[in-house]
Amino acid sequence: MKRKLYYNLLNWKENNIKMPYMLVGARQTGKTYIITEFCKNEFKDYVYINLDVMEEIKKVFEYTINPEEIIKSIEIILGKNIDIEKTIIFIDEIQVSERAISSLKYFCESEKPYKIIVAGSLLGVKINRFKSSFPVGKVWIEYLYPMDFEEFLLAIGEDKLLELIKEKYEEMSPLAEPIHQKALNLYNEYICIGGMPASIMHYIECGKDISKYDDNILNMIITSYFADMSKYTENIEAIRNNKIYNSIPSQLGKENKKFKYSLVEKSARAREYESALEWLLSSNMLLKCQSITMPKSPLKAYVEDNFKIYLSDIGLLRVLSKISINEIMLEKNMLYKGVFVENYIAENLYSKYKELYYWNLGNMYEVDYLINNEGDIIPIEVKASDNTTSRSLNYYISRYKPKYSIRISTKNFGEANGIKSIPLYASFLI
């Protein structure tokens, strides 16, 4: 399946960037697949090393972090000659060895043309908790997220629809109604299955018939997440991670969606659970959206204490919430569907901006998201339907007079009174 990140990998190769390439992302987002495809397609030869299962090679890094010695040891263990001019070395699950991560500095500084690419399911956690000196400035770090709606359309062969959506976004002119409805239907199906590559592949294998889709695919991914929590954390922290993750549907189901530790556990206190929450955020399993009361650049300078937490994938949120596909497709649960829409937009914005912010003024007004467009703070309002009445956005516009505003809903493309109307299926373009 096509991933937009592939072009970033090509850029790294074609510009002969000396720094080892590090791909960070949650489990099951497709890191191993896309890197393996890149290595096969773009290099004469490649070596795959999984440090989670190849204990002998993991021990090599404990003995030395000298690049020449590492390569010679790998050649002996694998019984393979490595031509460093033509071979790329892919080290997977590198987070299990802090020494392996440290060695990347020396691969970068070596005069020899080593081509090293690494990945790991919990690299974000490892980076944040690195005990020795992380090779800052010596690695090229990129992030991989679940497939967005653009990649979903490419995967199911809807290239022409995708190009038309992009064209109409630039023009801010409406799609023909039958095409608009088709795009909305596909968006609803995407909401059900989410962006995990295995989930989208299963949907394709079902003949793109959503009625044949099996939720076990997503349940297995959640199970693997809980397994990671137990494997890579101490017992008490694993329990807290689990409780926080399971609390997200109820956190988002409240009218005031700000995260509350009391919804994790009645007697929970912030100081007991902050470390566990940070672990989940660093692992890219959760996304944090911070409250802003003063919409000025830089937004980070005006962050308040309150925040919301979203899941990294909309499909995982649906199965964790125990909401059936029929409830989404037949619009039987429109109240909670608004939660899915908000989570879906959070995923889109986070993958681009790496930060999320929302604006609120007490309990009176709230705008779902704010983005910084070259110093202009743009408010974004999200609606699950075509009901676009909004007291909060109107108040925000009258008070702060933004350059323009964005409203995302089931309505077609359009623009009026300084508000750009963008259909839900086109939000990946913002």
pTM comes to 0.93
Residue 386, pLDDT score: 76
Helices then strands, counting H and E runs in the chain, come out as 17, 14
Residue 335, pLDDT score: 64
Which of 7-21, 91-105, 113-127, 158-172 shows the lowest mean pLDDT across its residues?
Answer: 113-127
Place of tokens 């997220």: 145
Residue 333, pLDDT score: 59
- Identify the CA nearest to 122 among candidates 257, 230, 235, 206: 230
Residue 7, pLDDT score: 96
> At residue 364, does pLDDT exceed 90?
no
pLDDT digits (tens, 9 = 90+) for 83-140: 999 999 999 999 999 999 999 999 999 999 999 999 998 888 888 777 777 888 999 9
- Identify the CA nearest to 50 among candidates 29, 74, 66: 74
Which of 110-124, 265-279, 322-336 shows the lowest mean pLDDT across its residues?
Answer: 322-336
Rounded (10°) CA dihedral 345, 346, 351, 356: 130
Most confident of 43-57, 262-276, 325-339: 43-57
- Specify whether the backbone of 301 is left (phi greater than 0), alpha (psi in -120 to 50) or beta: alpha
- What percent of the chain lies above the pLDDT cut of 90? 83
Average pLDDT in the chain: 93
- Between CA 37 and CA 326 the distance in angstroms is 36
> At residue 37, does pLDDT exceed 90?
yes
> At residue 224, does pLDDT exceed 90?
yes
Residue 338, pLDDT score: 86
> At residue 46, does pLDDT exceed 70?
yes
Overall average pLDDT of the 334-342 stretch:
82
Three-state SS string over 312-371 comes to: CCHHHHHHHCCCCHHHHHCCCCHHHHHHHHHHHHHHHHHHHHCCEEEEEECCCEEECEEE
pLDDT digits (tens, 9 = 90+) for 407-430: 999 999 999 999 999 999 999 999
- Between CA 426 and CA 180 the distance in angstroms is 11
Question: Is 68 or 332 the better-scoring residue by pLDDT?
Answer: 68
